Amino acid sequence: MNYGKKSAAQKRNSLISRSSMMGKRARVSFIRLLFVSLIALCIGVTCLGIGSFKGVIDNAPDVNDIDIMPLGYATFLYDDQGNQIRKLAAPDANRLPVTLEQIPVELQHAVVAIEDERFYEHNGIDVRGILRAGVKALTSGDFSEGASTITQQLLKNNVFTNWTSESTQLERFTRKFQEQYLAIQVEKKTDKDTILENYLNTINLGAGAYGVQAAARQYFDKDVWDLNLSECATLAGITQNPTKFNPILNPDSNKKRRKEVLQHMLDQNYITEEQYKEALEDDVYSRIQAAQEKHSDNSNTIYTYFEDELTDQIINDLMNIKGYTKTQATNLLYSGGLKVYTTQDSAIQNILDEEYTDPSNFPDQTQYELDFALTVTDPEGNQVNYSKEMLQLYFQNEDPNFDLLFDSPEEGQTYVDRYKENILADGSKIVAERVNFAPQPQSSMSVIDQHTGYVKALIGGRGEKTASLTLNRATDTTRQPGSTFKIVSTYAPALNEKGMTLATTFEDEPYTYPDGSPVNNSTRSYEGTTTIRTAIQNSVNVVAVKCLEEVTPDLGLKYLDNFGFTTLAHGTEADKDANGNIWSDANLATALGGITKGVTNVELCAAYASIANSGNYIKPIYYTKILDHNGNVLIENTSVERSVIKESTAYLLTSAMEDVVKYGTGTACQLDNMAVAGKTGTTEAYNDVWFVGYTPYYTCAIWSGYDNNEKLPDYARKYHRNLWKKVMTRIHEGLPQKDFEKPASVEKLSICAISGLLPRAGCPVTTEYFDVGTMPTEYCEEHFYDESSYDYDTSDQTDSSSTDTSDAENTDTSDAENTDTSDDSTDGTENTDGTDGDNTGDYDNTGDTDDGGDDSQYQIDY
């Protein structure tokens, strides 16, 4: 370094030069500016942070509005005796609420020890836990250790319920920050016990069990208050990862986790060393497996036909009565913790279930109808759907007569396999497939207590029910009712307001509809002067049509509406078919059951139940009340009656239908020691067969036919009546014998058995019931002094008010009226296809066949 005089002068000059001085000043100014900028930046960031913090807090739910109680409690169904028959639960709503007092202290301590050891100390957030998790994350890169308290987890599950849909770190941070803020606020206003109780009723414990009570039932088949220490530790270990630590699927993983829970309890002085060792030695997993075997033996997750219809009714009522949307109503039903008290009589339902699973009650020659659906992805990536109708068309190219009925499911499966092979030949891949085989002929049955309108039992088909909410033939399917409609469409209004009586006569003779089409009796014969009682007993078509002509089809349709039928056509725009035709059931074919859409089993049963209930209709009821999660009445479902016919009319129809069962087309349905009234019904082509009958206790309707509406073969036309008798016999076991009570408004009177008028000497005399206002006042003139021409013996029918079964009225059980109890009963010459309403206005096809004789002799084909 040069320290000479010259260099020192140069150095001095450089320091005091103007340029040097300006440079120094610039540097100082820059430093000052940088410092000020940094301060401003810090202030800005701080303000922004404070603003963001305030924004996050402001957008958090109001602590006064949030509800930390768990969502998604299971709904329970109870029968008419209060016995639980079903638990309804969504996949995440299988909760059974319990109080903290019911939860063992060991389980409370186990959960706190493993999930939030400082739960009883912190104010909602665990600062030490947060710092520990942060240090671990920075030092090891492991971000798996959580720091959420029980309070925070409760808020996440019951308030921030959409946390699973978070897609960005900002969303997660915002929710987490709000969660921590609210945890502090919640703990200011809620005690620890309440928080812990709600948490234990909320947590997901795997296997579809939410909350500790549901988990105790699922894993150990016991209530939570009966759990021991080892079982409590088993449950407490699940919540961190409900799949990984599921003790059913992963017992080894759960065992390790259980040991960890017990170790935490020991370290935190909740248990002693002795308790720790004893709990570890307890083999809880063998008990868990045994409980699962018991569940598989006793549980059936498929709803019954009754439960299917019940759930529909509840959802509709929640919408119509309480104003919920369909989504809200559905969520409330499956997640709202409701208690539904149904009208089902479990004993009666069991009878139906047992008889419908007994093969001996059905024809030996059972066929199986294919139900098929297939979805594939073709080589271009498009999804293509295939149906059973498409399968049928495919094979009809080989055999024009190919249908979907097979002699066995195995035979049907061969066609399914061939069809799939053809579809998949181009490389298409199966996405979804459904293959079911339903035994045929099918059947449905409903039982109603006519005094209350309560549906006591219901079954919508024979064969194994493979899924919930499937086709319910008792409530969903509409079929033609045949002669069962004569009572409600024709004779009810005739007796009720047209001044007719059971003794009113019509000429049973060749007759035509207005368009010239013949009205045919099942026997293709005619019996001359016939009373309404005899016409009902023997199901005479001509008399029914003539009677409705006098009643008028419009009035008949009005009565059908009052009887509760909702599937009738009234000639409005709503009744327009695909071809633009508007249909109306206000025509003479309706007398014989020839209607556009058909009726459901339950509605037909309810109509007859109203006759049994002294003429008062009650809409079928499936439940009596619904309680909400807190035990408050949500809906009270009371019976509302409306009068359809007079009490006297109801009794007169009942009396005539007693003769149907005693002497007419329904003799196969007689019960021992119990009065029965009812009516048979069969459509012309034997597509549908019915019997609807009632006792003083219950009304029961049975239908049988093919799902595809094919004609019933000879061997399948009468089994339904035997099944009706078998079911009703069992239902009435032990019930006191009763007869139908005659009201004071009905009188018994002797009349001429042929003319229905007051008898003179020589008239064949019988007795008949009359409404007091319609008793005959005129005397018979036709049979005066002609006693030798008739051979009537009414001695055995004075109580039944019916003509003798051996007389010329053809009511003998072995004569041409075909009322033999061993033979078939078919009601109709109309083409009353249950799925095709196009022929309901065609009078060529509106006859009714109710023959109790040989099917081959009286089969009618057009």
- Residue 672: pLDDT band (50, 70, 90) is very high
Which is more confidently placed, 14 or 427?
A: 427
d(CA 330, CA 312): 9
Q: What is the pLDDT, as a whole number, of residue 833? A: 35
Q: How far is CA 58 from the centre of its chain?
A: 45
Looking at CATH, the fold of the domain delimited by 484-628+644-701+815-858 is given as: Beta-lactamase (3.40.710)
How many CB atoms neighbour CB 859 within 10 A? 18
Q: Exposure string (b/e) for 191-212, b if CB count within 10 Å is 16 or more?
A: eeeebbbbbbbbbbbbbbbbbb
Region 300-308 average pLDDT:
89
% of the chain at pLDDT higher than 70: 79
Say which residue the tokens 């104010």 belong to: 123
Average pLDDT, the chain: 85
Q: What is the pLDDT of residue 157?
A: 80
More confident residue, 12 or 835: 12
pLDDT in tens, 771-826: 999 999 999 987 655 444 444 443 334 344 443 333 333 333 333 333 333 333 33
Q: What are φ and ψ of residue 705, in 5° steps?
A: 170, 175
Whether the pLDDT of residue 618 is over 70: the answer is yes
How, if at all, do strands 75-78 and 339-342 pair?
A: parallel
Mean pLDDT along residues 380-403: 95
CA separation, residue 708 to residues 229, 435, 535, 704, 835 (Å): 60, 17, 32, 12, 9
Q: 161-218: per-residue pLDDT in tens?
A: 555 555 677 667 776 777 788 888 888 989 999 999 999 998 989 888 889 999 999 9
Helix pair 346-356, 719-731: axis angle to 10 deg? 150
Mean pLDDT, residues 565-589 taken together: 93
Which amino acid, one-letter code, is at 9?
A
Beta carbons of 233 and 249 less than 8 angstroms apart: no
Q: How many Å apart are CA 607 and CA 370, to the nearest integer?
A: 33
Single-letter amino acid, residue 46: T
Using left for φ > 0, alpha for ψ between -120 and 50, and beta otherwise, residue 17 falls in beta
pLDDT at 51 over 70: no
Question: What integer pLDDT is reported at residue 207 of this predicted model?
Answer: 86
Q: What is the DSSP string of 548-606?
A: HHHH-HHHHHHHHHHTT--S--BSSGGGB-TTS-B-B--SGGGGGT--SS-B-HHHHHH
Among 475, 497, 628, which Cα is nearest to 550's?
A: 497
CATH class of 93-298: mainly alpha
Closest CA to 196 of 270, 339, 335, 99: 99
According to the model, what pLDDT value does residue 639 have? Answer: 87
At 37 the pLDDT is 65
Domains of the chain, residue spans: 28-59, 93-298, 375-429, 484-628+644-701+815-858
